[in-house]
Structure 1
Amino acid sequence: MKFSIVTASYNAANELLRTARSIAKQSYRDFEWIVVDGASSDGTKKLFKEYHPEFAAAFTSEPDAGIYNALNKGIARISGDWVLFLGAGDELFASDTLQILSEYLPHVDASKTLVYGDVHEVGNQDNLVLKVRNERWEGLDGPWVIGRPVLPCHQGVLHRAQIFTDGFRFDEKLKIAADNELLLRELIAGRGCKIDQVVAKFLRGGISSGNTNRARMIFECIAVNWKIGIFWRRPIYQVILLLAAAVKPYLQR
């Protein structure tokens, strides 16, 4: 069994090295790490190749149109059986994480395209666990947050490569929440399953984390709901959120 790990980065040299250290120490070695860098100007390419030459062959650096454009470039290069998306600064939970997953995944029902575990949200300096992300899919009638049903943390989700070889690509018009479409599509169809395993450490502070991007996150989440046909499950709730997100910047002046 082979894993494909895909990372998009931009001007995040130190964070990318953090991810590299995590992946380099994996005891299970049948994996590829595809890094798509957006032509960073902070020395990412030089540092990466200096400190982790073993991954240099799968590292590319060129201008892109955002995170999902970069991830789509990475998806086009995968050769593994299962795909995991890690951001720059994210880590696999432990040195035996891929080994544990390699023993579990062959026994997953062939109809399941997503397998997800827990994620520890950590701080940059001390790696202190700030939050345990153990969200579980409870369906469209379960709890909703930021305008959409509760979803597992994407860094903890393993995707069958068949999803992408069959043609799925992230919607590049979206800049923060395009992964919601993939997760919702598969989970609504009953093709996901939860495992009792911590998969990754998620470095707090990504593009979707701050208040600055919260309004955009809400807009994009609701746009995805409309696209896949679930907007009408809770339309009043979503309209209220949209109005609040639109008005809040004016109230803060």
Structure 2
Amino acid sequence: MKQIKTEPVITIITSTFNAVSALSITIDSIRNQNYTNIQWIIIDGKSTDGTVELINKNEDIIDFWLSERDEGIYDAWNKGVKHIKGEWVIFLGAGDVLYSNNVLSNMASHLSDAFPKYNLVYGKVDVVNDDNESVADWGEPWELLKNKTESIRIALPPHPGSFLHVSFFCEKKYLFPTSLKIAGDTHSLMTAVIDKEPLFVPIYIDKMLFGGVSTTGKNLLLIIKELKFINQEFNVNLPFFIYYWNLSKIYIKAFVNIVFPEKIIGSLYNSFLKVKYRFK
């Protein structure tokens, strides 16, 4: 007898803190999805700007939420993980926008029979600038990606375009390391791809804002520290020249961010993006 594939429940986990304007954008994006098997979890860090009131007004599409003080985004995600009822999980930030109204319905057909061969299924992310102009793509087939490096780590699927199977959190009992403040998503993706090779689906999942230099000089230095820790934990050794060449570029970017005002750097970088990708 031929087995009938069922539409999987997709869990979305979002952390917020004083993000009322950004969250309203994500609410519209999720509300407009034509896929109904969605569980949306919001973990708020005790916001005082109206975020909680906005959540209350949209409880019809929010399955679980709480608002209490936390230790950061990864602590919030860990709280959300405890309430997963779906088969596949994606983490969307406040302000994230699903690429189209049928993103989840398109992905559902691929997710329905992906497990147990795959515990990570990912698509593409459309990178946009401040004017909502598409400037770059993020995400390519694993056959190409697995042989590359990004920054001072191995190349990984784009986290905003990645769906992790619930077994990753329930059976393997994975939690994001709260000792990491920036690279926790890198840690989860590396854990997943080392366990099993992921499946790439050539579908745009998310729109991600690339508005200027996205991190401060201080955060760039923290990224270096955390990525070194992750490489050591997973016994990752990049080629000597590639590692130190990429490391030097991060240090230069951090120095520029520290010396020059962030607004000036961001404005110049946005202008550069418009010129570089104007024929995309």
Q: Name the TM-score class by shorter chain.
A: 0.7 to 0.9
For residues 41 and 100 of structure 1, what CA distance do their matches in structure 2 show? 37
For residues 141 and 21 of structure 1, what CA distance do their matches in structure 2 show? 35
Question: Post-superposition shift, 1:53?
Answer: 3.1
Which letter does structure 2 place at the counterpart of 1:116?
Y
> CA deviation digits over 1:112-169, x for unaligned, max 9?
1000100112245x43223221244458972212110111210100110100002000
For residues 219 and 186 of structure 1, what CA distance do their matches in structure 2 show? 21
Which letter does structure 2 place at the counterpart of 1:60?
L
Closer, same or farther: CA 102–245 of 1 in aligned 2, 3 Å: closer
Closer, same or farther: CA 109–164 of 1 in aligned 2, 3 Å: closer
> Does the alignment pair 1:156 with 2:161?
yes
Match of residue 26 from structure 1: 33
Match of residue 131 from structure 1: 136
Question: Post-superposition shift, 1:190?
Answer: 3.4
Determine if contact 2:119/2:196 at 8 Å carries over to the other structure. no
Match of residue 145 from structure 1: 150
SS in 2 for 1:55: coil
SS in 2 for 1:168: coil
> CA deviation digits over 1:228-247, x for unaligned, max 9?
111x3435654665577568
For residues 81 and 251 of structure 1, what CA distance do their matches in structure 2 show? 41
Determine if contact 1:171/1:178 at 8 Å carries over to the other structure. yes
Which letter does structure 2 place at the counterpart of 1:32?
Q
> Does the alignment pair 1:113 with 2:119?
yes
For residues 256 and 126 of structure 2, what CA distance do their matches in structure 1 show? 35
For residues 71 and 105 of structure 1, what CA distance do their matches in structure 2 show? 22
Determine if contact 1:135/1:151 at 8 Å carries over to the other structure. no
For residues 186 and 243 of structure 1, what CA distance do their matches in structure 2 show? 28
> Does the alignment pair 1:95 with 2:101?
yes
Determine if contact 1:139/1:149 at 8 Å carries over to the other structure. no
Determine if contact 1:9/1:35 at 8 Å carries over to the other structure. yes
Match of residue 234 from structure 1: 239
SS in 2 for 1:107: coil
**Aligned residues between the structures:** 249
Question: Post-superposition shift, 1:55?
Answer: 3.4
Match of residue 182 from structure 2: 176
Which letter does structure 2 place at the counterpart of 1:93?
Y
**TM-score, normalised via structure 2 length:** 0.79
For residues 149 and 55 of structure 1, what CA distance do their matches in structure 2 show? 37
Question: Post-superposition shift, 1:26?
Answer: 1.1
Structure 1: give runs of 5+ residues left out of the alignment. Answer: none
Question: Post-superposition shift, 1:49?
Answer: 2.1
For residues 55 and 103 of structure 2, what CA distance do their matches in structure 1 show? 23
> Does the alignment pair 1:42 with 2:49?
yes
Worse overlay, 139-148 or 62-71: 139-148
Question: Post-superposition shift, 1:62?
Answer: 0.9
Match of residue 67 from structure 1: 73
Closer, same or farther: CA 239–129 of 1 in aligned 2, 3 Å: closer
SS in 2 for 1:111: coil
Determine if contact 2:45/2:68 at 8 Å carries over to the other structure. yes
For residues 39 and 65 of structure 2, what CA distance do their matches in structure 1 show? 11
For residues 188 and 132 of structure 1, what CA distance do their matches in structure 2 show? 24
> Does the alignment pair 1:3 with 2:10?
yes
- The sequence identity of aligned pairs, in percent, is 31
> Does the alignment pair 1:219 with 2:225?
yes
For residues 251 and 59 of structure 1, what CA distance do their matches in structure 2 show? 36
Closer, same or farther: CA 239–20 of 1 in aligned 2, 3 Å: same
> CA deviation digits over 1:25-72, x for unaligned, max 9?
11111111101111112111112323x231355221111100100000
Match of residue 77 from structure 1: 83
Which letter does structure 2 place at the counterpart of 1:157?
S
